């Protein structure tokens, strides 16, 4: 048991060293406020949607998304991409169109690296004159890729591959590693 | 009453299967509890990521638990019975070699999947992964885990080549150290209670791993040898008691803090109305069951094992490992569940 104790002490020392190194608060972000408020009833649409979280949001290209879906369930009314400023994520809003329930959907990357998503509806009582965005976010193909490829030209020829290709690669890697290890490590005897 | 068969360890590898299978069941149950409807207009991560990521994460946890248990085993067995212990411990090192390899590869797969998760719909390129690692703490943690698991693998291989080259303490320390980075990036901590929750979460993970892995390793490797088992099980029992106490205290503390600092919910609402709270209650249930099974092994079976008698230890250990796997599966979903 003394040996075991020593191993635990080693691990504990390492633990405290690690805790000393890590400085930032890391937890899931939670939505604490928004403009417009959840289930608000408005006569005219606001200029922008602002979501306030309890902690800073991780900023980065395409990491945070806000969409505003109109009463028809398909038209999108956000104007451009979301901007992060500490713990506030905002997106400009177009002039709204028909009266009805608009739904704000968001996905942000919290400080601990996990995605947090949610939605909050608001109701427009007077029809506006605006038209929906002609560049809606598409669920299957990321429209943002075209607009951002100019900023990162080296990514243009670095085509990504689907997740399953990575998984197959990992399984092959693992299988090869196991075979190699069995050879190097010797037989059971 | 099923009896411990005093035959080759091959008969008891199914215990590892029980642990892994129940952990996957735990993940599926957890996912079902925390499932949310897709949000209109918002791109969703592919199904392979939504279900695959927690599954890979729990496999990572299981590989880590098995490795930690096998690396702790030489310390539990001690040096009192070298003749019978040496071949068994060599087998344990061999198993640790494979499990640490699985640990490293699952960490890399989890890294790819988490990169895919933050930009739903986009394919994952190498550049995207490096960017994820450089911007997100969880990415760095997974790289760290992969490197340390590989180090653990290398140490296991080396110790197989020359048995005396690597002190067992070093292998145990490396394996335990590799557990540390990931809890820091779960919602281990919250601003006000930051340092305490982080330390408490690390202790929670380490003691859960030592408890589960230790039980698995002792039963799978040693159950065929009554002398070694009679010598080792009482020592493991002390370790398990300490782990049970630590897991309970740290688990209650972290769950309480996570719910209390939530700006939008009260504690009671949090426990009973959120997916997070329900998972917490389920894990409490698992812990109570584990305490009961542990008590049965400690008070009923241990005296017989110490007297070198045949017992139903393997059966009870299988049940206990099953519940432990379930708790790990729930925990994997819990660390990712938002509180709302």
Please, what are the domains in chain A?
31-146 (2.60.40.1220)
Q: Is there a domain that residue B38 lies in?
A: no
Q: Prior bond to A36 cis, omega within 30?
A: yes
**Which among A58, A107, A178 has the least Cβ separation from residue B101?**
A178
Tokens, residue A118: 């949610």
- Nearest 10 degrees: Cα torsion A173, B26, A31, B187: -60
Residues of B with CB below 8 A from A185's CB? 94, 97, 156-157, 160-161
Domain membership of residue B4 (yes or no) is: no
For B68-91, write each residue's pLDDT tens digit.
999 999 999 988 888 888 888 888
Task: Look at residues B295, B135, B158 and name the one whose alpha carbon lies nearest to residue A84.
Answer: B135
- Sequence-separated (6 or more) residues with CB below 8 Å from residue B264: A30, A31, A32, B340
Number of domains in chain B: 1
Residue A28's SS3 state is coil
pLDDT tier, B57 (very low <50, low <70, confident <90, very high otherwise): very high
Instruction: For residue B153, report the phi and psi dihedrals to the nearest 5 degrees.
Output: -60, -50
Residue B141 forms part of a structural domain: yes
Q: Which of B35, B41, B93, B108 to mutate to test the interface with A (most CBs of A within 10 A)?
A: B41
Give the count of alpha carbons within 13 A of A165, CB side only: 9
pLDDT score, position A75: 87
Helix (H) or strand (E) holding B286: helix B275-296
In a domain, B206, yes or no: yes
Interface probe for B, chosen from A20, A22, A183 (most Cβ of B below 10 Å), is A22
Measuring CA to CA, which residue among B150, B151, B140, B152 is closest to residue B184? B140
CATH number at residue B62: 1.20.1630
List chain A residues with CB under 8 Å of B138: 112-114
Is residue B6 domain-resident?
A: no
End-to-end CA distance of chain B: 46
Q: How far apart are CA B251 and CA B257, in angstroms?
A: 10
**Distance (Å) from the alpha carbon of A68 to chain B's nearest alpha carbon:** 8
Q: Please indicate, yes or no, if residue B66 is contained in any of the structural domains.
A: yes
Q: Does A157 touch chain B (CB under 8 A)?
A: no
Domain containing residue B82:
12-33+47-336
CA dist B18 and A131 (Å) reads 58
Helix (H), strand (E) counts: chain B: 13, 0
Q: Which residues are CB-neighbours of A31 under 8 A, at least 6 positions away? A: A51, A52, A53, A106, A118, A120, B264, B340
Q: What is the pLDDT of residues A127-154, one digit of tens each?
A: 888 888 877 675 443 433 333 333 333 3
Residues of A in contact with B105 (CB under 8 A): 170, 173-174, 177
Cβ neighbours of residue B95 under 8 Å, at least 6 residues apart? B66, B70, B221
Residue B38: its pLDDT value, please? 81
- pLDDT category of residue B245 using cuts at 50, 70 and 90: very high
pLDDT at B186: 59
**Chain B contacts of A159, Cβ < 8 Å?**
123, 125
Query: What pLDDT is stored for residue A44 in this prediction?
Result: 85
pLDDT range class, residue B145, cuts 50, 70, 90: very high
- Reported ipTM: the value is 0.70
In a domain, B56, yes or no: yes
> B238 falls in which pLDDT band (50, 70, 90)?
very high
Higher-confidence residue: B197 or B7?
A: B197
Phi-psi map region of B154: left, alpha, beta (phi>0 left; psi -120 to 50 alpha): alpha
* B187–A114 CB contact, under 8 Å: yes
Can you point out the beta strands (E) in chain A? 31-35, 41-42, 48-53, 65-69, 83-85, 88-92, 100-109, 115-124
Interface of B with A in 42-81 (CB under 8 A): 42-46, 48-49, 52, 72, 75-76, 78
Does residue B193 or residue B115 have the better pLDDT?
Answer: B115
pLDDT, mean of residues B139-155: 93
Q: Quick check: is B2 in a domain?
A: no
Q: How confident is the model at residue A6 (pLDDT cuts 50, 70, 90)?
A: low
Q: Which residues contact A51 (CB under 8 A, 6 or more apart)?
A: A31, A33, A34, A66, A88, A89, A90, A104, A106, A108
């Amino acid at each position: 048991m003394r040996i075991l104790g020593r191993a635990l002490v080693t691990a504990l020392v390492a633990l405290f060293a690690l805790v000393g190194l890590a400085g930032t608060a890391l937890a899931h972000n939670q939505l604490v406020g928004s403009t417009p408020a959840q289930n608000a009833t408005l006569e005219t649409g606001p200029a922008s949607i602002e979501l306030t979280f309890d902690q800073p949001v991780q900023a980065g290209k395409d990491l945070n998304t806000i969409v505003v879906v109109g009463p028809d369930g398909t038209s999108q009314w956000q104007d451009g991409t979301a901007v992060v400023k500490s713990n506030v994520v905002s997106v400009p809003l177009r002039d709204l169109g028909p009266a009805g329930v608009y739904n704000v959907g968001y996905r942000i990357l919290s400080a601990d690296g996990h995605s947090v998503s949610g939605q909050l509806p608001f109701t427009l009582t007077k029809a506006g004159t605006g038209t929906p965005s002609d560049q809606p976010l598409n669920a299957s193909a990321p429209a943002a890729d075209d607009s951002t490829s100019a900023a990162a030209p080296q990514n243009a020829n670095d085509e990504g591959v689907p997740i399953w290709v990575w998984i197959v690669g990992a399984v092959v890697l693992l299988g090869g590693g196991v075979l190699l290890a069995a050879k190097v490590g010797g037989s059971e005897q | 009453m099923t009896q411990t068969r005093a035959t080759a360890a091959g008969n008891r590898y199914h215990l590892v299967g029980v642990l892994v299978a129940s952990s996957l069941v735990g993940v599926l149950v957890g996912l079902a509890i925390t499932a949310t409807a897709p949000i209109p207009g918002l791109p969703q991560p592919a199904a392979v990521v939504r279900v695959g990521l927690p599954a890979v994460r729990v496999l990572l946890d299981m590989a880590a638990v098995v490795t930690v248990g096998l690396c702790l085993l030489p310390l539990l067995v001690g040096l009192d019975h070298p003749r019978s212990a040496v071949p068994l411990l060599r087998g344990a090192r061999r198993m640790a070699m494979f499990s640490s390899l699985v640990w490293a590869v699952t960490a890399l797969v989890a890294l790819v999947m988490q990169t895919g998760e933050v930009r739903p719909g986009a394919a994952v390129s190498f550049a995207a992964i490096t960017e994820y690692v450089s911007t997100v703490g969880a990415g760095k943690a997974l790289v760290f885990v992969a490197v340390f698991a590989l180090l653990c693998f290398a140490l296991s291989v080396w110790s197989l080549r020359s048995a005396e080259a690597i002190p067992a303490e070093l292998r145990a320390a490396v394996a335990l150290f590799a557990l540390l980075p990931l809890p820091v990036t779960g919602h281990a901590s919250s601003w006000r209670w930051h340092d305490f929750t982080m330390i408490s979460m690390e202790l929670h993970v380490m003691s859960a791993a030592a408890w589960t892995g230790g039980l698995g390793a002792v039963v799978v490797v040693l159950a065929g040898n009554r002398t070694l088992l009679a010598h080792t099980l009482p020592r493991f029992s002390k370790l398990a008691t300490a782990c049970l106490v630590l897991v309970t205290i740290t688990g209650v503390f972290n769950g309480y803090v996570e719910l209390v600092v939530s700006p939008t919910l009260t504690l009671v609402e949090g426990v009973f109305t959120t997916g997070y709270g329900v998972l917490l209650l389920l894990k409490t249930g698992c812990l109570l069951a584990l305490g009961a099974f542990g008590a049965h092994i400690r008070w009923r079976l241990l005296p017989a094992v110490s007297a070198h008698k045949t017992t139903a230890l393997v059966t009870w250990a299988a049940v206990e490992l099953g519940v432990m796997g379930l708790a790990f599966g729930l925990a994997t979903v819990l660390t990712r569940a938002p509180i709302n």
